[in-house]
Amino acid sequence: MKILFKFLKPYRTATILGLAAKFIETILELFLPLLMAKLIKQNFSNFDISYTIKVSLLVLAIILVNIVLAMLGQFFAAKASTSFGNDLRRSTFKHINSLTFSNIDKIGAGSLITRLTNDIASVQQIIFMTIRIGLRAPFIAIGAITMTMILAPDISLVLISIVLILSLIIVLIVKLNAPVFRDVRKKLDRIAIITSENISGARVVRAYSRQSTEIERLTKSAAEYKTATLRATRLSILMHPISTLLVQLGIFTIIVIGAYNYDRTQVANLTAFVTYLTQILLAITIISNLANVFVRGFTGVLRINEVLKLPLTENPKGGICELSEIDLKSPPIEFKEVSAGYGNSCANILNNISFKLESGQKLGIIGGTGSGKSSLISLIPAFYQARSGQVLVFGRNVLEFYPVFLRKLISVVFQKASLISGTVRDNIAFGRDISDQEILKALKTSQSDFVLSSNDCLDKIIERDGLNLSGGQKQRLAIARALAGDPKILILDDSASALDYATNRALNDSIITNYPSTIQIIVSQRAFAIRETDTILVLDNGNIVGLGCHDDLVLNNPTYKAIYMSQIPNSGVK
């Protein structure tokens, strides 16, 4: 619940004004039955037209004031709830972007999307409904009971009994439904995950004609979601008939009591009692309808709180953030007995990795599929944390760095190039303060001639996810984006896999010429892509099985030799 008060605090004025408007509206509404009772008493024997007009005008005035108060309450409720939702969504998104990949993996992308959208919307709905009508219902119930206690304590006992019984029923239903709604959210997460997978992998699904299988998979998840939702509403739908039955029994009881204990002159009081009981019926109906809203909302609170409680292993406000704090002459990369894996229960992906890259050297990393290449390079910019050992950059542990500064020092280009919709300039600068001259230099270095030769050049439009580009063009733009920041360390994670040999060779030569101080780490499954690096690290099943130059490894390392011979069988190596 602290999350509600934390993000609602800046809008307490709107919240208080909204609640005040609804409170005054409720008080005025509670006086209407009293006025009607007085009117009936006054006219029971002799009709008084003057008194009737006065009371009627007063009732009309109260109704008009209540309309204005209702509009004000609605306005302030909308202002407070939408502002609250905006702040909560922005803060949650910011928190997610400060998490390491391992913490994000704990929840999953599909579930995070659901929490940022549906869950926050349901929490926002709590604020809106609470201000608008959520507290009005208790005000009505308490006020109606108070009024009847003043007029007739014996009849007020009937109202108190009904309210207590209905309150217990609501509490019981909410308690039983809370875990069911949590299950509903999990089922919705599953639908979001399947949908996301099918949208991003639509070409693969169609290439293998798996549409029917995927439709069946989604249909099954949708059916599970439907079953869970129906289970959650089974108890809730009982609220309205139960509350109606109890209130009607209360009205019947009041009439019976009145028939025995009241004379003709007290018919007006009975009318007021029935009106108050009707108001209680409306209040209980509102509460019963809001029960599901609040259960969903509080389920959303728990799920959002689960995200916000994930520890920020990256300290966004502290750490090394100046070049003067590091020694650029120290080894740019050093691993000291590093072991790493994903999750708490999984086995290690990397085991006791130790090596040092000297200043000015170029490192190549090779190994079979699943050998741990991408896992290794993900530790350098601290995307993931090592389970044991140390990863050092220029002699300092990567966890000591301010993340933004660390990732200015290190640029990573992944095999799957991710581009945004916009211009080439937007994609290369990517929100950084980079001049057009630096962008053009990076484009030239990355062999992006298709941009340089176009009429639009930097204003060339890139469609969403680079749909109007080939795989090789997207990879070259991704490399240009990494180079434009002039990093001290450039990591290419199989990011030239779509390039032909000549373009790849020209790219490597151009990087050396135009960015001579940048240290390259090239991850590849192709031996010719790394054969000219100063040092080659060979991985197999998470272990280092070779470390040296190409000539030594091809002669003395069976794993590297097997990879090299499988790709270049006519190399002359025996």
pLDDT at residue 261 in the model: 63
pLDDT value at 83 more than 80: yes
- CATH architecture of residue range(s) 330-567: 3-Layer(aba) Sandwich (3.40)
335 phi and psi angles, rounded to 5 deg: -110, 130
- CATH architecture of residue range(s) 2-308: Up-down Bundle (1.20)
User: What confidence tens digit (pLDDT) does each residue in 399-449 have?
Assistant: 888 888 888 889 998 878 888 888 888 888 887 888 889 999 999 999 988
Is 372:350 a contact under the CB 8 Å cutoff?
yes
Is 17:76 a contact under the CB 8 Å cutoff?
yes
- Full-prediction pTM beyond 0.95? no
- 3-class DSSP state of 355: strand
What percent of the chain shows pLDDT beyond 70? 89
pLDDT value at 565 more than 90: no
Average pLDDT, rounded, for the chain: 81
Cα 420 to Cα 79, 459, 478: the distances in Å are 33, 14, 11
Average pLDDT over residues 508-520: 88
Q: Which residue has the tokens 């604020």?
A: 127
* Secondary structure in 3-state letters for 237-304: CCHHHHHHHHHHHHHHHHHHHHHHHCCHHHHHHHHHHHHHHHHHHHHHHHHHHHHHHHHHHHHHHHHH
Average pLDDT over residues 253-267: 63
**277 or 559, greater pLDDT:** 559
- 3-class DSSP state of 378: helix
Is 51:39 a contact under the CB 8 Å cutoff?
yes
pLDDT at residue 387 in the model: 86
pLDDT value at 251 more than 90: no
Q: Which residue has the tokens 């097997």?
A: 562
pLDDT at residue 364 in the model: 92
User: What confidence tens digit (pLDDT) does each residue in 154-166 have?
Assistant: 667 777 777 778 7
Domain ranges in the chain are 2-308, 330-567
Nearby residues of 100 by Cβ (< 8 Å), 6 or more positions away:
313, 314, 382, 383, 384, 385
pLDDT at residue 407 in the model: 84
Distance CA 147, CA 138 (A): 14
pLDDT band at residue 363 under the 50/70/90 scheme = very high
